[in-house]
């Protein structure tokens, strides 16, 4: 029996599945805060600290080919290209050796960040949502099922801005690999089907402005192109 909602239920956020007309329903977006050593160094952070997590709402997803309106309040929006992991099952306290069994597939995404607001929040010891979880902050390309891609342990992860290479890393540089992230995060929350995880960005984060074309790729997984549009009125 469907619920008797007092307002229309919000639409289900989805991500396309590569090579099909099917879509993956998104429940939550978890993000890893620090997971590549060169990015920790460029941000001036302690590289001995373990990574940590923050989240974005599911409806911050922007599809491949989409446009991201330049967000309000910032003068320093940064791109962070990341490997995205999409879960088909979950649970609590998932062992590392069972973690890959939870994965539906992989994609390439961007953790868009209002860096000035994130750093202001960090310095005031306030939460990060205003810097990280704003509207349209999670562009994500089509998901490639793990049944086709396998579980990548290495492969180039890149972002070009207007044709110029800005981020150029390799998945083998991940400090915590994907099974370790799933296992660790499942100690903190019960993971569920539909949860996706953005696994952290390699070095080269930089500002992006209205008119920029961002082209991302994870070798063997897929591509993502988005355009930064003018600010909403």
Binding interface with Mn ion (CB under 5 A): 80, 111, 201
Q: CA–CA separation, 110 vs 143, rounded Å?
A: 14
Q: Which is nearer to Mn ion, 16 or 138 (CB)?
A: 138
Query: What is the per-residue DSSP string for 147-172?
Result: HHH---S--EEEEEETTEEEEEEEGG
For the bound state, the minimum distance from the C-beta of residue 122 to Mn ion, rounded and expressed in Å, comes to 13
Closer CB to Mn ion, residue 17 or residue 113? 113
Angle at 206 between CA 199 and CA 143, to 5 degrees: 35
Cα 196 to the chain's mean position, in Å? 8
Q: Return the number of the residue (101 or 180) whose C-beta is nearest Mn ion.
A: 180
Task: Name the CA dihedral angle for 217, 77, 48, 173, rounded to a multiple of 10 degrees.
Answer: 10
Decide whether 80 or 195 has the Cβ nearer to Mn ion: 80
Minimum distance between the CB of residue 92 and Mn ion, rounded to whole angstroms? 25
Across 64-137, the runs of DSSP E, i.e. the strands, are: 67-69, 77-79, 81-87, 103-110, 113-114
Of 80 and 217, the one with the shorter C-beta distance to Mn ion is 80
Q: Could you tell me the smallest distance in angstroms from the CB atom of residue 132 to Mn ion? A: 8
Paired strand residues for 214: 161, 226
Closest separation between CB of residue 111 and Mn ion, Å?
Answer: 3
Smallest distance from Mn ion to CB 5, Å: 34
- Comparing every residue's Cβ against Mn ion, the nearest one is 111
């Amino acid at each position: 029996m469907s619920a008797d909602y007092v307002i229309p239920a919000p639409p289900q956020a989805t991500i396309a599945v590569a090579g099909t007309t099917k879509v993956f329903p998104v429940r939550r977006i978890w993000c890893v805060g620090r997971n590549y050593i060169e990015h920790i160094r460029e941000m001036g952070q302690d590289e001995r600290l373990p990574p940590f997590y923050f989240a974005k709402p599911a409806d911050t997803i922007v599809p491949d080919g989409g446009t991201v309106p330049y967000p309000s309040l910032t003068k320093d929006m940064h791109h962070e290209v990341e490997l995205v992991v999409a879960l088909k099952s979950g649970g609590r306290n998932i062992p590392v050796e069972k973690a890959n069994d939870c994965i539906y597939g992989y994609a390439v995404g961007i953790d868009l960040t209002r860096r000035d607001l994130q750093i202001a929040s960090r310095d005031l010891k306030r939460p990060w949502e205003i810097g990280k979880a704003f509207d349209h902050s999670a562009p994500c390309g089509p998901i490639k099922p793990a049944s086709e891609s396998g579980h990548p342990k290495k492969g180039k992860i890149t972002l070009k801005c207007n044709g110029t290479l800005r981020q150029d890393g390799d998945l083998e540089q991940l400090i915590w690999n994907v099974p370790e992230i799933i296992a660790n995060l499942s100690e903190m929350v019960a993971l569920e089907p539909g949860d996706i995880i953005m696994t952290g960005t390699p070095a080269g984060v930089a500002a992006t402005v209205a008119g920029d074309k961002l082209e991302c790729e994870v070798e063997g997984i897929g591509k993502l192109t988005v355009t930064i549009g003018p600010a909403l009125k």
